[in-house]
Structure 1
Amino acid sequence: MSQGNNQPRVLAKIPVTVLTGFLGSGKTTLLRTVLASPEMADTAVIINEAGEVGLDHLLLEAVEEQVLELPSGCLCCVRRLDIVTTIRGLIERRDRGAIRGFSRIVIETSGLADPAPILYTLAVDPTLGHVLSFTAVVTLVDAVAGYTSLQRHPEAVSQVAVADRILITKIDLSPLAGDLAAMLDGLNGWAERIELPGPSEPVEMLFTKAPPVANRRRFIAQAVAPDAAHTAAIHTVSLVLAEPPTRFAFARALGGLAADRGADLLRAKGLLCFADRPDHVAVIHAVQHTIYRPEWLARWPDDDARSRLVFITRDIGADDILRRFAAFAPVPWTAATI
C-alpha cells in the first residue's frame, strides 16, 4: 500500500449560511427558489419553527429556541444550544446513513429574531468550528416596507447591521427608494447589495462567500466619511488614527467595549496598521460580543493609508468610544458621529 493511502482522510468542512430578514421580507420565497434547483438537493435547512416556513424539503429541520445564558445575562451573548444540537445530530445521522447526504447548511432565523446569538454560537462552539465553514450572513430587506421596519423594529436593524450580503426584495413592486438606500448605507455600507428579482442566481447569492470587506468600495468610503439617515437610537461613529497602536493595546480597547457594551455594539469594522506589525494591514470585524480573527493584507486596499474604524452602535456615543481607546492606545484619534 502506498504511503499516500496511509494518510488520514481530511473531511471537507460544511459551508453554512445564516439567512435572516424581517417579517415579510421574502425568506420563504427565496428558499423555495433555491431548493428547487437540482444542485441544491443536498442542502440541509434549519428553521426556528415548523410552521414558519412552508417548504417541502427532505432535509428540513425545525428547532425550538434553547439558549444557555452566560453570566453576563446579555441576550446577544448566549449560546444557541438548539443550533449546536441540531447540527451535530444532522451530521451524526448523515454519517451513519440514517438520512440522505448533505454538503451545505442554511440556518434561517425567524423574522423577529436578532441573529447575533446564532453568530456567537458558530464562532465560539469548538465542535462546530471543526466541521463548519462559515459562508455569510444574508439579509433580506423588503423594498416596500423595509424603511418602516428599520425605523420601528430594532431586530430589523440588527439583521441589516450584521449582514455580509443584503438582498433587496420586491423591487418589481417598488424600486429601491433613496431614503431606504441611505439608511442601509448608514447601517451597513460595506455589505454587498443585490436587488431581486435580478440576474444573479439564488444559489450563488446564498453560498458564494462574500468578498473580503477590504475590497468593497463602500466599506473603504464609509470608514472615512459615513453619511446616512439613521433610526433615532442608532449611530455611526467613525475613528481615524494618526499613529498605529500595538495589537495588545487595541485588543484591550475593543475587547473592553465588546465586553461592557456588546449588546449595543451592532457592528465594528476597520482597517488598521499596528505598531508591532507595520508590514501588514489588519481588517477588523466584530459583531456585538464576538470579535473575529483579523484578515491580514499585504498592502492598503486604497490610496488612503490611515487606520480607521467604523462602529454601528445603539446609544454608544463617540465620547465613550474615544475614552476607551485613549486609555489603552494613547495616540491621536479623531471621531465623527452621524
Structure 2
Amino acid sequence: MSLAYDVIPVTIVTGFLGSGKSTLLADVLKGEVARDTAVLVNEFGEVGLDHLLIGEVDAQTVLLENGCVCCAIRGELKEALATLFSRRARGEVPPFSRVVLETTGLATPAPIVATLLGDRVVSSHYSIGAIVTVVDAVNAGQQRARHPEWLAQVTAADRIVVSKADLAGAAALDVLEPTLAQLNPAASITRRTCADDASVILDPAGNAHDFADFVRRTGMTAQEPRQGGSPLSRLSATPAHRQGLASLEAFCIEFDEPLDWPVFTLWLTLLLNRHGDNILRVKGILALAGASQPVVVHAVHHLVHPVLHLDAWPGAGKHEAPRSRLVIIAQGLTRDAVAASYRRLCRHLQTAEALID
C-alpha cells in the first residue's frame, strides 16, 4: 500500500491501565527508525506522567491532558493533529511520516476512530495505520471481568501484544492466547519481548505480512466453529460478564466467487446501519470481479475505514484461487444469520434485475 506524502498514517496504541503501553513505546520508538515519528500521548487526569516515562523518544511529543482522549478531549485530539500538521508544513518540526497515538487505559478505540474518519480536516491529512492493543497477561482475567473497555480494546485491534508473559506463566498463557484469538481472529498476536520489532508499532496494517497471518487465522476460523468448553469460559468472570460474553461471536464468512463491489458495499452499509451498535469489528480481504488485486476492508461499529489495495494476495499458492474472507466480531449476531442476509440481498437484486429486463 502506498500513501500520498500528505496523508499520514496514525497508529493507535491502546490497552488497559498498567498494561505497559508506555514501556513498549519507550523501547520501540528509539533511534533512527523512529526519527520520522510524531507521538501523541494522552493521560487521564490533570497531571501527565507518561511523557516522562517515554523520555528519550526521538520524535515530536505532545501531551494531551485533562481528560480521556476518547471522550472529553476529542476536540483537543483534532486540534493536536491539525497543529502537528501545520507545524510540519511550516518546517517547525521534522517532516514526520507517521503518528503514534497512545491512549489512556480507560479509552475505547471506536470514538478515536470516529475522530480520525469523521472530521473532514483531519481525514484529509491522516489515515488509520493500525490499532495496537497491549494486553496484561497477569491481570487480563480480572480486567476482562470488570471493565468493558478491555473487551473493546481487544476486539478493535489489528495487532495484540501480550505483556508480562514471563510473570504470568505458561499455564495462564495457554488460556489467554487462545481466548484472544477467539475474541479477535483478525488480529495478529505476539508476546512482548525486550527487543520488540519496531514494525509492531510503526508499520501500518494491510501489508502482506499482516494479511498472510490474517488469511491463516481466518481460514482456520471458517473451518472450525467454536465448540463448547472453549478457553473463553476458563478465565474468571462475573456472571453478568459471562452472560455478555456468551452473546459475543467471532466468525469468518468465505465467498467462493469474486464479489460484485457495488452489491457488497450495499450489503455492508445495510448491515452496519441495522446492527452497527452490536458489531465490534469487521476486517476482510476480498476478491472483486474484474480485479486482480485484493481489496482490504475495515470497520468498527458504524464506521468504515477507507479501502486499502494490496499489490498481491498474501500466502496464496500458484494454483490456489483467491477467496474472499470477512471476519466479523459481534454481539447477538451469528455467522449463519449474517451470511444469509448477503444471500437474500443478492437474490432480491437478481429478481429486480430480471423484472427490469
TM interval, shorter chain, is 0.7 to 0.9
**1:94/1:101 contact within 8 Å kept:** yes
Matched residue type, 1:311? I
Are positions 1:255 and 2:251 aligned together? no
| Runs of 5+ unmatched residues, structure 2 | 233-244, 349-357
Quote the residue 1:204 is aligned against. Answer: 199
Aligned to 1:267: 281
Measured in 1, the distance between the counterparts of 2:346 and 2:268 equals: 10
SS at match of 2:11: strand
Partner of 2:212: 215
For the Cα contact (< 8 Å) 2:285–2:296, is it kept in 1? Answer: yes
1:151-170 deviation line (CA, Å, top 9, x unaligned): 44322112112212211111
1:135-154 correspondence to structure 2 within 5 Å: 135-154=129-148
Q: TM-score by structure 1 length? A: 0.77
Cα contact 1:241–1:307 (8 A) shared by 2: yes
The structure that is helix-richer by fraction is: 2
Pick from 289, 302, 309: which aligns with 1:289? 302
Conservation of the 8 A alpha-carbon contact between 1:268 and 1:309: yes
Partner of 1:335: none
Write the distance in 2 (CA, Å) between the matches of 1:23 and 1:184. 18
Alignment of 1:21-32 (within 5 A): 21-32=15-26
Matched, 1:325 2:339: no
- State the alpha-carbon separation in 2 of the partners of residues 282 and 208 from structure 1: 18
1:25 CA displacement: 0.6
Aligned to 2:239: none
Alignment correspondent of 1:225: 224
**Contact 2:284 2:296 survives alignment (8 Å):** yes
Distance across 2 between alignment mates of 1:181 and 1:226: 17
Report the counterpart of residue 191 of structure 1 in structure 2: 187
Quote the Cα distance in structure 2 between the aligned partners of 1:319 and 1:40.
45
Deviation at 1:140, TM superposition (A): 0.2
Partner residue, 2:153: 159
2: CA distance between counterparts of 1:127 and 1:300? 33
Q: CA, structure 1 residues 125+226, in 2 after alignment: closer, same or farther (shift >3 Å)?
A: farther
Report the identity percentage. Answer: 32
- The structural deviation recorded for 1:26 is 0.8
Distance 1:243 1:322, change over 3 A: same
1:49-97 CA-partner distances (Å, limit 9, x unpaired): 3535432356222155699xxxxxxx99x99433221110222244446
Q: 2:94 aligns with which of 91, 94, 101?
A: 101
Report the structure, 1 or 2, having the larger strand content: 1
Show the counterpart of 2:79. Answer: 85
Give the match's secondary structure for 1:277. Answer: coil
Structure 2 counterpart of 1:316, from 326, 333, 351: 333
Give the corresponding residue for 2:353: none
* TM-fit CA distance, 1:206: 1.4
| Alpha-carbon separation, structure 2, partners of 1:45 and 1:13 | 16
Q: How many residues align?
A: 311
Q: Which amino acid in the other structure matches residue 232 of structure 1?
A: A
Tell whether the 8 Å contact from 1:63 to 1:82 is kept in structure 2 after alignment: no
Q: 1:47 to 1:79 in 2, by over 3 A?
A: closer
Q: 1:14 to 1:326 in 2, by over 3 A?
A: closer
Is 1:61 the counterpart of 2:77? The answer is no
Residue 148 of structure 2 aligns to which amino acid in structure 1?
P
8 A contact 1:79–1:121 mirrored in 2: no
Q: Which residue of 1 aligns with 2:351?
A: none
Specify the SS of the correspondent of 1:261: helix
Which segment is superposed worse, 163-172 or 289-298?
289-298
Report the 3-state secondary structure (helix = DSSP H, G, I; strand = E; otherwise coil) of the residue aligned with 2:165.
coil
Cross-structure match for 2:235: none
Determine the C-alpha separation between the residues in 2 that align with 1:146 and 1:280: 39
- Listed as ranges, the gaps of 5+ residues in structure 1 are 1-9, 68-74, 332-338
CA pair 243-135 structure 1, distance change in 2 beyond 3 A:
closer
**Which residue of structure 1 aligns with residue 352 of structure 2?**
none
Between the aligned partners of 2:125 and 2:79, the Cα distance in structure 1 is: 13
Paired position in structure 1 for 2:238 = none
Residues 10, 100 of structure 2: 8 Å contact kept: yes
2: CA distance, partners of 1:149 / 1:66: 18
Q: Equivalent residue of 1:329, what SS?
A: helix
Bigger Cα displacement from structure 2, 39-48 vs 309-318: 39-48
Distance 1:307 1:14 in 2: 28
Q: Per the alignment, do residues 93 and 218 of structure 1 end up closer, same or farther by CA in structure 2, a change over 3 Å counting?
A: same
